[in-house]
């Protein structure tokens, strides 16, 4: 959608693990080295750890893509919540083997014969188990049986366990002690440092840009890096949404304002901003009320705050003119509400300090309030919303996709109907959507005003 506007050949911030955009930080290089060495040297077990979104799957897929032309067969387990028999069934299916028995022990024997044939033809069989921290303990415990399939010098099947840090805790389970001891190589992928995060973003832009023009201002880049906390997947989500928002506002390069906007949308923190704003307003109001109530007792002066007691009436009457001038200056500086002052020689009525001289009980208006009212009556001040409506441009409305959304639901939410004409209207203005039932969480949907054709 925004490729031509930003001079891009392809989208630089896909959330899928695309090996073509592989960026190797020091810990990524270490993980890649462990995988290559462990498989090519037939070490048996390799374990790769890392937080969600740091690039574990990207690393293994990049390795498998580079070795696709070699004599290597890979069994990739995406859903590890399997029994040992279920795991063997998946392995047989991936290797195009038909089990001659349904018994797990017999299936292991048959698998060993097939692995020996692969070994004799100089072919390597690799078993990759992603999200291995979710595999049942009993299945993991029986997995060590596969590591017993070996020759006198080499393991017949190479097993790569990829998982979150919880995998370390799982492998330390007493029943998995034997399996844990069989792991020959381990590596941990860490979140990127700030400089590495910037290099990561620039790396992906360089691979996608046809002009070399920057996509983000320095302020926008720093905010993305800070909020992503070194997680590549989150960097991709923030950058992609910022580009969509920038495109909607025709902002090039993307500024820090667009990044702030998508952070509110993605984190759902708009309510927290409103709460903070409301608390701030409440504090200001309370301070104003406090100053208003205390104004008869405390009179601001140049040297601080001096108390005026009832016994000072005579001296107060004599200096009423200077007190009035001082009070007005204090109001102009501090923004406090005015209280009625007596003219020279008159008595100050302190029994009703906040009523007007006529005793009607009406709150006194400050000089600022009087000035505003006068300006409004003269037409010098227009209603804020009226002025804003005449000067503010109408910007495209966007909506972030949530988990489980589809285009029909969004059309119904935006236009009050999920009719075909509304769905087609959204697809026309969001050309990157090919299937209305398949939209990705975090994706930005442009919601233009519907015009009947």
Same domain, 158 and 53: yes
pLDDT digits (tens, 9 = 90+) for 435-451: 676 777 778 888 888 88
Q: How far apart are CA 382 and CA 397, in angstroms?
A: 27
208-258 pLDDT, tens digit each: 999 889 999 999 999 999 999 999 999 999 999 999 999 999 999 999 999
Indicate if the pLDDT at residue 262 is higher than 60: yes
Flag whether pLDDT at 350 surpasses 50.
no
Read off the pLDDT of residues 351-369 as tens digits, 9 standing for 90 and up: 334 444 444 444 445 444 4
CB 60 within 8 A of CB 160: yes
- The total of structural domains in the chain comes to 4
Residues 310 and 409 in one domain: no
Regarding whether 177 and 77 lie in a shared domain, the answer is yes
Question: In degrees rounded to 5, what are phi and psi of residue 137?
Answer: -60, -40
CATH number of the domain at 404, please.
3.10.350
- Looking at the structure, tell me whether residues 168 and 203 fall in a common domain: no
* Same-domain pairing of 217 and 328: no
Decide if 265 contacts 259 (C-beta within 8 A): no
Whether 392 is covered by a domain: the verdict is: no
The CATH number linked to 201 is 1.10.8
Answer yes or no: is 135 within a domain.
yes
Last residue within a domain, chosen from 189, 207, 241? 189
Picking from 355, 348, 353, 351, the residue whose alpha carbon sits closest to that of residue 313 is 348
Same domain, 56 and 166: yes
Indicate if the pLDDT at residue 394 is higher than 50: no
pLDDT score for 341: 43
Asked if residue 225 belongs to a domain, the reply is yes
Domain identity same for 159 and 201: no
Q: How far is CA 304 from CA 122, 151, 287, 318, 406, in A?
A: 92, 92, 18, 21, 65
C-beta neighbour count of 163 within 10 angstroms: 22
| DSSP strand pairing (304-307 vs 298-301) | antiparallel
pTM over 0.85: no
**Choice among 157-166, 306-315, 388-397 with the minimum mean pLDDT:** 306-315
132 and 32 co-located in one domain: yes
pLDDT in tens, 36-72: 999 999 999 999 999 999 999 999 999 998 887 778 9
- The predicted pLDDT at position 322 comes to 47
- Which pLDDT score is estimated for 291? 67
Cα dist from 370 to 79, 366, 374, 377, whole Å:
72, 6, 6, 11
DSSP 216: B
Return mean pLDDT, the chain: 79
CATH of the domain at 184: 3.40.50.300
Residue 154 has pLDDT above 60, yes or no: yes
> In this structure, is residue 74 part of a structural domain?
yes
Same domain, 51 and 109: yes
- Confidence class of residue 259 from pLDDT cuts 50, 70 and 90? very high
- Residue ending a domain, among 189, 209, 225, is 189
Please give the pLDDT value at position 292. 63
* Residue 423 in domain: yes
Which of the residue ranges 132-136, 280-284, 413-417 would you say has the lowest mean pLDDT? 280-284
Same domain, 407 and 369: no
Distances (CA, A) of 377 to 224, 308, 366, 373, 390: 48, 38, 17, 6, 21
Alpha carbon distance 248, 398 (integer Å): 8
Expressed as residue numbers, the domain containing 236 is 3-9+193-267
Residue 130 predicted with pLDDT over 50: yes
Task: Specify if 103 maps to a domain.
Answer: yes
Residues 227 and 330 occupy one common structural domain: no
Q: What percent of the chain has pLDDT over 70?
A: 71
Mean pLDDT of 294-315: 46
Q: Is the pLDDT of residue 342 over 50?
A: no
Q: With respect to residue 250, please indicate whether it lies within any of the assigned structural domains.
A: yes
User: Are 198 and 180 within one domain?
Assistant: no
Asked if residue 129 belongs to a domain, the reply is yes
Maximum CA pair distance of the chain? Answer: 117
Answer with the one of 189, 219, 240 that is the final residue of a domain. 189
């Amino acid at each position: 959608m925004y490729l031509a506007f930003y001079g891009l050949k392809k989208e630089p911030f896909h959330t899928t693990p695309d090996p073509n955009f592989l960026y190797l930080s020091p810990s990524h290089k270490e993980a890649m080295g462990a995988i290559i060495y462990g498989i090519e040297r037939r070490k048996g077990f390799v374990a790769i750890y890392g937080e969600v979104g740091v690039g574990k799957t990207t690393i293994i897929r990049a390795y498998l893509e580079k070795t696709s032309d070699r004599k290597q067969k890979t069994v990739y387990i995406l859903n590890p919540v399997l029994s040992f028999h279920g795991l063997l069934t998946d392995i047989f299916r991936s290797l195009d083997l038909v089990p001659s028995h349904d018994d797990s022990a017999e299936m292991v024997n048959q698998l060993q014969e097939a692995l020996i044939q692969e070994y004799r033809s100089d072919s390597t069989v690799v078993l990759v188990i992603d999200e291995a921290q979710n595999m049942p303990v009993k299945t993991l415990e029986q997995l060590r049986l596969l590591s017993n399939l070996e020759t006198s010098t080499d393991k017949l099947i190479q097993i790569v366990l990829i998982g979150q840090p919880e995998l370390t805790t799982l492998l330390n389970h007493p029943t998995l002690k034997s399996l844990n001891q069989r792991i020959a190589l381990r590596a941990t992928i860490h979140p990127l440092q700030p400089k590495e995060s910037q290099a990561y973003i620039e790396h992906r832009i360089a691979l996608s840009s046809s002009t070399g023009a920057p996509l983000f201002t320095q302020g926008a880049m720093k905010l993305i890096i800070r909020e992503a906390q070194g997680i590549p997947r989150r960097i991709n989500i923030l950058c992609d949404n910022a580009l969509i928002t920038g495109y909607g506002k025709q902002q090039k390069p993307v500024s820090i304002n667009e990044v702030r906007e998508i952070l509110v949308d993605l984190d759902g923190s708009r309510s927290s901003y409103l709460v903070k704003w409301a608390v701030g307003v409440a504090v200001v109001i309370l301070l104003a009320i406090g100053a208003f109530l205390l104004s008869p007792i405390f009179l601001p002066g140049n040297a601080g705050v001096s108390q005026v007691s009832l016994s000072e009436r005579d001296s107060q009457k004599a200096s009423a003119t200077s007190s009035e001038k001082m009070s007005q200056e204090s109001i102009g500086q501090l923004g406090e509400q005015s209280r009625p002052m007596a003219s020279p020689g008159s008595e100050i009525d302190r029994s009703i300090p906040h009523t007007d001289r006529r005793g009607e009980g009406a709150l006194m208006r400050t000089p600022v309030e009087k000035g505003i009212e006068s300006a409004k009556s003269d037409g010098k001040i227009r209603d804020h919303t009226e002025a804003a409506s005449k000067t503010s441009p109408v910007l495209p409305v966007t909506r972030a996709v949530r988990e489980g959304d589809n285009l029909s639901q969004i059309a119904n939410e935006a236009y009050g109907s999920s009719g075909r004409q509304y769905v087609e209207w959204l697809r026309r203005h969001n050309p990157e959507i090919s299937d209305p039932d398949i939209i990705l969480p975090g994706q930005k949907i442009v919601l233009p005003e519907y015009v009947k054709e």
